[in-house]
Chains A and B, each alone.
Chain A
Amino acid sequence: LAKTTQPISMDSYEGQEVNITCSHNNIATNDYITWYQQFPSQGPRFIIQGYKTKVTNEVASLFIPADRKSSTLSLPRVSLSDTAVYYCLVGELGSNYQLIWGAGTKLIIKP
């Protein structure tokens, strides 16, 4: 059974780079890797998505090794407002859909 595993919690400090890794050993060929951010009492918000290698946007980078069995979300120069829960999602919505959510990583940024 496909599963995604990520750390339960992480701490860091303002201005640091934070890397959160998600393990997904049984990722299927058509699966994408997507990361979301969630603040208390809000729905998750899309951060970044990738299939392989590296993807970068204005808020984060996503690193995916060649075997795609893990992925790393990188947040550059975090601030207090980045304190949130970060979810890894592996899956696709084709005819054989599967959407496997990680349990979430609670990231706390300290001053």
Chain B
Amino acid sequence: DVKVTQSSRYLVKRTGEKVFLECVQDMDHENMFWYRQDPGLGLRLIYFSYDVKMKEKGDIPEGYSVSREKKERFSLILESASTNQTSMYLCASSFDRDGISNTEAFFGQGTRLTVV
């Protein structure tokens, strides 16, 4: 089974702190994603990466950055956490099929981040 592992289930951080959310996948997937999920707003894509050291902005990249130094690991960085970044953060990965990226993604369990 594909496994996408997020380093923490729950985090509490203070305003202004630098926060790292780590995600590891074990299926050699090319694509990795970071989403946030908020009640009433559904899933919103923050960043995705289709290869090592490559990244693409999603719909809401402001206030976030990412790092993908190894194929299996994708990190989300909150440079200076703010209360409006309190949310559920979901990491996902997907493979390329026949040279075409696809949207069949495997998600981690999520990290519930609270910024106080």
Give chain A's interface residues, CB within 8 Å of chain B: 32, 34, 41-46, 49, 87, 89, 91-94, 97, 99, 101-104
Contact = CB atoms under 8 A, between A and B. Distances in A.
A89 B108 CA distance: 18
B43 interface: yes
A45 B108 CA distance: 9
A101 B31 contact: no
Size bracket, chain B contacts? 20 to 34
Contact of A49 (B48, B103, B107): B103
Interface of B: 4, 31, 40-45, 48, 50, 56, 58, 90, 92, 94, 100-110
Contact of A92 (B43, B58, B101): B101
A43 B108 contact: yes
Contact of A87 (B43, B92, B106, B109): B43
A28 to B, nearest CB: 13
Given A41-B110, A43-B107, A44-B107, A93 B45 contact: no
Given A43-B90, A87-B43, A93-B50, A34 B110 contact: no
B104 A49 contact: yes
Contact of B104 (A46, A94, A101, A102): A46
A5 to B, nearest CB: 12
Given A32-B102, A49-B102, 12 more contacts: A43-B109, A45-B107, A46-B104, A46-B106, A91-B103, A92-B102, A93-B101, A93-B103, A97-B101, A99-B58, A101-B43, A104-B42
B42 A102 contact: yes
Q: Shortest 3 CB-CB distances between A and B: which pairs?
A: A43-B107, A93-B101, A34-B103
Contacts of A91: 103
Nearest to A34: B103
